């Protein structure tokens, strides 16, 4: 039987055609305005079937220079081995991605791209879609950041070392110059006082005051020397220096301090012993100044590959922002020392719950200043 109205029967087909055109135009527009390079290949022949304007701009080759070529026949992908290997992997796994692939533009510039490609089936034809993003600027910035961090790291090591050397130098000057002058002053004073041997109580009282002042100046000088560079650290070693420091802390501030050392000789070199000593010194000073604690604890554990240093108190604790990256100099100095040694520091503290500082430092692979 004949079809009575062929035009009417074609209406759905026309609608479908129109819908297809709308869809094609919509997706072509997406393809042409995308802010990433897009490359479409035939997955069986490796021939390029389409390239979007963004990729043409990025690589400097014309549309015609891409079309119909096998991917490794076009300049930017001219590393034939790499392109063929990528293509083979795409055929077997359906997916490849690189986060830093070097490509050369037609003008000869080397650029870094992020490259993601997938294989999919399009009406029986296997297609490979490659999305290509120029990340040259980002990679340069990342490299510059890494380099600058490495420089900062070196600078920190240099500054910390220079600071320790200065402190040692000042401690020696103070001890040798001021210390010797004070000793001479005391001897002259004692000789003079003996000559005077007065019964005048006013003069005797002034002589006693001068004697007292000389004694307290000698003590203050000795204390400053110790503070600048604990002689014990050099003479008797780290373990003795840290024990003496903990005892002095208790004597001076009336806060009992447990010292738990799990070795009699940690075998630390100068950089490591000075750094750990300084961290303990700063932490105990902080406990004395800020914590209002009734008890303090310092522990050092040798855990084979690394050392675990713990300093804790049962005082008032510190506010949340101070346990983070807040730039206060005592804490900053501690963080820098730990960083310089390739270690980690964790501060656990809260109002009313005391403060617990844990530092772990690798024993090996440390930079030499």
Ligand X SMILES: Nc1ncnc2c1ncn2[C@@H]1O[C@H](COP(=O)(O)OP(=O)(O)O)[C@@H](O)[C@H]1O
CB 310 within 8 A of CB 361: no
Closest to ligand X by CB, 287 or 340: 287
- 284-313 residues near ligand X, rule: CB under 6 A: 286-287, 289-291, 313
Closest-by-Cβ residue to Mg ion is 330
Tell me: does residue 323 bind Mg ion (CB under 5 A). Answer: no
- 268 burial via Cβ count (<10 Å: 0-12, 13-18, 19+): buried
Closest to ligand X by CB, 209 or 351: 351
Tell me: does residue 315 bind ligand X (CB under 6 A). Answer: yes
Residue of the chain from 127, 299, 322, 345 that contacts ligand X (CB under 6 A):
322
Sole residue written with tokens 């990340």: 135
Provide, rounded to whole angstroms, the least separation between the CB of residue 334 and Mg ion.
9
- 324-363 residues near Mg ion, rule: CB under 5 A: 330
CB 150 within 8 A of CB 138: no
Closest to ligand X by CB, 2 or 329: 329
Residue of the chain from 48, 101, 331, 361 that contacts ligand X (CB under 6 A):
331
User: Strands 296-302 and 257-261: what pairing?
Assistant: parallel
Rg of the chain over Cα atoms, rounded to whole angstroms, equals 38
Tell me: does residue 117 bind ligand X (CB under 6 A). Answer: no
Closest to Mg ion by CB, 271 or 357: 357
Order of strands across the sheet that contains 344-349: 257-261, 296-302, 306-313, 355-362, 344-349
Closest to Mg ion by CB, 268 or 357: 357
Residues 6+ apart with CB under 8 A from 368: 271
By a kind-dependent CB cut-off of 5 to 8 A, residue 218 interacts, out of ligand X, Mg ion, none, with none
Provide, rounded to whole angstroms, the least separation between the CB of residue 323 and Mg ion.
14
Measured distance between the N- and C-terminal CA atoms of the chain, rounded to whole angstroms: 99
Question: In 3D, which of 16, 2, 130 has the Cα closest to residue 77?
Answer: 130
Tell me: does residue 134 bind ligand X (CB under 6 A). Answer: no
Q: How many residues bind ligand X (CB under 6 A)?
A: 16
Residue of the chain from 283, 286, 349, 355 that contacts Mg ion (CB under 5 A):
286
Round to whole Å and give the CA distance between 128 and 117. 7
Closest-by-Cβ residue to ligand X is 330
CB 314 within 8 A of CB 354: yes
Q: Which tokens in the block code for residue 349?
A: 């503290």
Interface contacts to Mg ion, rule CB under 5 A: 286, 330
Interface contacts to ligand X, rule CB under 6 A: 286-287, 289-291, 313, 315-318, 322, 328-331, 355
């Amino acid at each position: 039987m004949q079809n009575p109205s062929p035009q009417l029967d074609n209406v759905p087909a026309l609608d479908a055609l129109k819908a297809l055109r709308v869809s094609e135009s919509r997706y072509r527009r997406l393809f042409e305005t995308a802010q990433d390079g897009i490359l479409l290949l035939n997955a069986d022949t490796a021939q390029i079937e389409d390239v979007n304007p963004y990729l043409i701009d990025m690589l400097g080759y014309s549309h015609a220079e891409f079309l119909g070529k096998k991917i490794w026949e076009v300049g930017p992908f001219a590393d034939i081995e790499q392109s063929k290997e990528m293509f083979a992997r795409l055929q077997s796994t359906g997916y490849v991605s690189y986060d830093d692939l070097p490509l050369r533009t037609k003008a000869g510039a080397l650029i870094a791209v992020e490259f993601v490609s997938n294989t999919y089936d399009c009406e029986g034809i296997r297609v490979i879609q490659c999305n290509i993003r120029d990340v040259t600027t980002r990679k340069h910035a990342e490299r510059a950041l890494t380099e600058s961090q490495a420089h900062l790291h070196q600078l920190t090591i240099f500054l910390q070392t220079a600071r320790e050397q200065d402190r040692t130098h000042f401690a020696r000057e103070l001890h040798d110059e001021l210390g010797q002058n004070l000793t001479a002053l005391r001897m002259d004073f004692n000789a003079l006082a003996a000559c005077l041997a007065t019964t005048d109580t006013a003069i005797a009282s002034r002589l006693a005051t001068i004697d007292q002042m000389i004694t307290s100046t000698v003590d203050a000088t000795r204390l400053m020397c110790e503070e600048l560079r604990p002689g014990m650290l050099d003479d008797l070693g780290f373990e003795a220096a840290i024990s003496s420091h903990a005892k002095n802390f208790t004597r001076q501030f009336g806060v009992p301090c447990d010292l738990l050392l799990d070795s009699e000789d940690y075998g630390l070199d100068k950089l490591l012993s000075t750094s750990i000593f300084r961290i303990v010194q700063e932490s105990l000073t902080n406990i004395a100044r800020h914590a209002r604690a009734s008890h303090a604890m310092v522990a050092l554990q040798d855990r084979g590959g690394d050392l675990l240093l713990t300093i804790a108190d049962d005082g008032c604790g510190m506010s949340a922002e101070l346990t983070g990256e807040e730039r206060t100099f005592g804490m900053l100095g501690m963080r820098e020392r730990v960083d310089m040694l390739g270690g980690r520091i964790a501060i656990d503290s809260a109002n009313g719950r005391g403060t617990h500082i844990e530092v772990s430092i690798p024993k090996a692979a440390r930079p030499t200043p």
